[in-house]
């Protein structure tokens, strides 16, 4: 049984249909990348899975449960956590407080364990545990957003543009951490402008164009595909 099954999903903002009949699956233990140009509907897909947007048509099943109409907090309880585009950390709270909020469905003991795991993975956050999140650098805030999602102990981690706006060295560092997270057994669905890095991390990928899935393949074949290279990897 697939961990995540999306069938014929449509999501609209008023008259604008941002997703039109999207179907995809994510198997347990996989890393799956969603590629697409600006405005293709990638963020809409992530927010719809998380229960932050209503679905106009179609179904979403997670771990055998129909979550099509489930509220966002229940979806977190079931095991899906999202690191949102633009990070959205709580600037006036400390690093450790931001992380603990990510564990709102967890016991105090699990939160303590989670903090140690995240501080082990991101030593820069450990050094800054009492710093206000709003004063962190962009890369550090990204680590915090990913760490906060991990505090929920998700089975499925949704990552929306984790490398957006970061310097190349920080991008490398974030992707090293993502490899570690994937190797620890967390299933990952990732949206990323940095297509090469995303496909190197991923097992499979889907290409989204104006709200529709137009292509699906192994990450290796997508990386080698002339169409993908021309459209997303800057090669003619």
Nearer to ligand ATP, 39 or 54 (CB): 39
- Could you give the count of Cα atoms lying within 13 Å of 193 in the half-sphere of its Cβ? 12
Taken in order 26, 198, 139, 173, the sign of the CA dihedral is positive
- Is 18 among the residues that bind ligand ATP (CB under 6 A)? yes
- In the list 4, 24, 31, 44, the residue contacting ligand ATP (rule: CB under 6 A) is 44
Which CB atom, from 40 or from 158, has the smaller least distance to ligand ATP? Answer: 40
Helix, strand, or coil (residue 42): helix
Strand residues in the chain grouped as ranges (E): 4-13, 16-26, 31-35, 57-62, 65-66, 80-83, 156-160, 187-191, 204-209, 212-218
Cα 160–chain centre separation: 5
SS3 label, residue 50: coil
Phi and psi at residue 218, in whole multiples of 5°? -65, 155
Least gap, CB of 213 to ligand ATP (angstroms): 13
Given candidates 41, 84, 102, 205, which one binds ligand ATP under the rule CB under 6 A? 41
Chain centre distance of CA 173:
17
Number of shown-chain residues binding ligand ATP (CB under 6 A): 11
Positive or negative, the CA dihedral 108, 110, 113, 118 is: negative
Residue 39 vs 91, nearer CB to ligand ATP: 39
Query: How many other C-beta atoms can be found within 10 angstroms of the C-beta atom of residue 162?
Result: 25
To the nearest whole angstrom, how small is the minimum distance from the Cβ of residue 71 to ligand ATP?
Answer: 19
* Nearest distance from C-beta of residue 171 to ligand ATP, angstroms: 16
Binding mask 21-40 for ligand ATP (x = CB under 6 A): ---------------x-xxx
Contact status: 13 vs ligand ATP (CB under 6 A): yes
Nearer to ligand ATP, 96 or 161 (CB): 161
Of the pair 38, 107, the CB lying nearest ligand ATP is at 38
Rounded least distance, CB 128 to ligand ATP, Å: 28
Least distance (Å) between residue 41 CB and ligand ATP:
4
Q: Give residues in contact with ligand ATP (CB under 6 A).
A: 13, 16, 18, 36, 38-44
């Amino acid at each position: 049984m697939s961990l995540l099954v999306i069938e014929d999903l449509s999501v609209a903002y008023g008259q604008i249909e941002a997703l039109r009949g999207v179907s995809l699956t994510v198997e347990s233990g996989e890393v799956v990348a969603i590629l697409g140009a600006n405005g293709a509907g990638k963020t809409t897909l992530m927010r719809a899975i998380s229960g932050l947007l209503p679905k106009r048509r179609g179904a979403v099943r997670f771990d055998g449960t129909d979550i099509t109409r489930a509220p966002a907090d229940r979806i977190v309880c079931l095991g899906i956590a999202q690191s949102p585009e633009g990070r959205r950390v709580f600037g006036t709270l400390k690093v450790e407080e931001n992380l603990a909020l990510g564990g709102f469905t967890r016991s105090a003991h699990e939160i303590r364990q989670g903090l140690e795991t995240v501080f082990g993975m991101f030593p820069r956050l450990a050094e800054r545990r009492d710093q206000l999140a709003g004063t962190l650098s962009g890369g550090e805030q990204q680590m915090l957003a990913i760490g906060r999602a991990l505090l929920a102990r998700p089975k499925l981690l949704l990552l929306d543009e984790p490398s957006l706006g970061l310097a190349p060295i920080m991008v490398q560092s974030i992707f090293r951490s993502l490899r570690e997270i994937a190797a620890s057994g967390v299933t990952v669905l990732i949206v990323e402008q940095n297509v090469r890095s995303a496909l190197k991390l991923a097992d499979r990928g889907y290409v989204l164009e104006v709200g529709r899935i137009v292509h699906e393949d192994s990450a290796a074949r997508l990386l080698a595909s002339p169409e993908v290279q021309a459209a997303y990897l800057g090669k003619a």
